[in-house]
Amino acid sequence: MAERPIAVTCGEPSGVGPEVIAAARRALPDLPFFVIGNPQHFMGLEVDVQVISAPEETSGTALSVLPHDIPGPRRPGLPDPAQAAGIVSAIARAVELVQDGAASALCTAPIHKKALKDGAEFAYPGHTEYLAALAGDVDVVMMLACPELRVVPATIHIALDRVAQELTPDVLETALRITHAGLRRDFGIDRPRIAVAGLNPHAGEGGTMGRQEQEWIDALVTRLTPELGCFGPLSADTMFHAKARAGYDAAVCMYHDQALIPIKTIDFAGGVNVTLGLPFIRTSPDHGTAFDIAGKGLADPTSMIAALRMAADMAARRAA
Ligand SMILES: NC(=O)C1=CN([C@@H]2O[C@H](COP(=O)(O)OP(=O)(O)OC[C@H]3O[C@@H](n4cnc5c(N)ncnc54)[C@H](O)[C@@H]3O)[C@@H](O)[C@H]2O)C=CC1
Ligand SMILES: NCC(=O)COP(=O)(O)O
C-alpha cells in the first residue's frame, strides 16, 4: 500500500468505539487505517475483519486489526477492569508505530477515564496528557474543531476550583503559541485570528466581577497581538454566536467547559478532537464511550469519520 495507514486505537471496547470504527471502515473505503485491539471485539459489526501482523498489511476494504492483548469479550456498557491495562498499552504501541513512521497519524477511539483509573491505575486525565507524556513531556493543547468553530481550552481536565490557580500567564501564552502554530501548519491558515475568552463573567466587567483580566490577561493578549493575531479578552457568553465566530479562526478559552459547550452544542456529530503540539498527528472523535447506547446500533459514526478524514488531511499537508 503506497499511502501509510493511520493507526487507530480501539479505546474502551465496551463503549461505542468498535461500532463507530467499523462504520467508518464502511464509509471510507479509500482511506487506509488499521486498528490496534482485540479482533474479537469487532466481530458481528457488519464489517469483514482481517487480522494483520504489521501496518503495511493494512487492507483497503476489510477492517484490518493488529492484535493487542485486551483479554475477554466485549460487553457493551460494562467495562472490564481486566482490559484496562491493554487499552492503555495499545495507545503507547500506536504512538511507537507513528513515531517509527509505520503509520502516518494516530486516531484514538474514546477511553473511559475512570474505568482505566480503576482497572490500571491510569495516572492521566485523558489521552491528551498521556500523549504529551509519551512524547517526552511536550507542551500540547487540546483543540476541538468542526466546520463552524475551533476551540482550545487553556486548562484542560482540571476541577473548576483549580482553574484560577493553574491558569497562569505562561499557560495562556503557551496555549496561544501552540494554537497559532497549529492553525498555520495543520489548517493552512497563514495569518490566524485568535479570539481569547475572559475568565470571569463579562471578562471581569472592569474588575467588578473578577480581576485576572485587568491584572494580566489583557496585557498578555495585547503584547502577543502583533505576533499571534490574538485579541480579547472577550466576554465568553457573547463570542460564540454566528456573527462573532466569523471574526476568528479559533477561540482560546480558559477552561474545559467554556470551550467545549459551544462546539458540542453547534456540532456534536461532526466535531473532532485534535492534539496540537505533539511531534505526530493525533485526532479523535469529540464524543466519549456512550455506555448508554453501546451495543444497541445507535452510535453515530460521523465524528469518527471526520476524525479520520482530518488525520489524513493533516498527514497529506505535512507530507506536501
Ligand atoms: N477522546 C476520549 O477518549 C473521550 C472520552 N470521554 C469519556 O467518555 C466517558 C463518557 O463521557 P460522557 O460525558 O458520558 O460523554 P459521551 O460523549 O460518552 O456521551 C454523552 C451523550 O452523548 C451520546 N453520544 C455519545 N457519542 C455518541 C455517538 N457516537 N452517537 C450517538 N450518541 C452519542 C451518549 O449516548 C450520551 O447520551 C467519560 O469517561 C469521558 O471521560 C469523553 C470525551 C472524549
Ligand atoms: N472532553 C474531551 C475529552 O475528554 C477528550 O479527552 P482526551 O482523552 O482526548 O484527552
Q: Would you call 277 helix, strand, or coil by DSSP?
A: coil
pLDDT digits (tens, 9 = 90+) for 247-302: 999 999 999 999 999 999 999 999 999 999 999 999 999 999 999 999 999 999 99
**pLDDT confidence of residue 59:** 85
User: What is the ipTM metric for this complex?
Assistant: 0.98
- Spell out the domain ranges in the chain: 1-137+278-320, 139-276
> Would the CB of 127 count as within 6 Å of ligand 2?
yes
| Ligand 1 atom closest to 114 (CA) | 39
pLDDT digits (tens, 9 = 90+) for 123-156: 999 999 999 999 999 999 999 999 999 999 999 9
Q: Which of 156, 176, 153 is nearest to 113 (CA)?
A: 156
For residues 261 and 290, what is the distance between their CA atoms, to the nearest angstrom?
17
Give me the percent of the chain exceeding a pLDDT of 70: 99
Residue 2 has pLDDT above 90, yes or no: no
For residues 126 and 131, what is the distance between their CA atoms, to the nearest angstrom?
9
Compute, in angstroms, the gap from residue 127 CA to the centroid of ligand 2: 6
pLDDT digits (tens, 9 = 90+) for 229-238: 999 999 999 9
The CATH number for 139-276, chosen from 1.10.150.120, 3.90.25.10, 1.25.40.10, 3.40.718.10, is: 3.40.718.10
pLDDT digits (tens, 9 = 90+) for 67-124: 999 999 999 999 999 999 999 999 999 999 999 999 999 999 999 999 999 999 999 9
256 has binding-site annotation: yes
Is there a common fold for 1-137+278-320 and 139-276? Answer: yes
Compute, in angstroms, the gap from residue 272 CA to the centroid of ligand 2: 11
* pTM for the whole structure: 0.97
CATH superfamily of the 1-137+278-320 domain: Isopropylmalate Dehydrogenase (3.40.718.10)
> Would the CB of 303 count as within 6 Å of ligand 2?
no
Residue partners of 90: CB distance under 8 A and separation at least 6: 9, 10, 36, 37, 68, 70
**Closest residue CA from atom 38 of ligand 1:** 112
Q: Would you call 153 helix, strand, or coil by DSSP?
A: strand
Count of residues in the chain: 320
Q: Which of 265, 272, 203, 268 is nearest to 232 (CA)?
A: 203
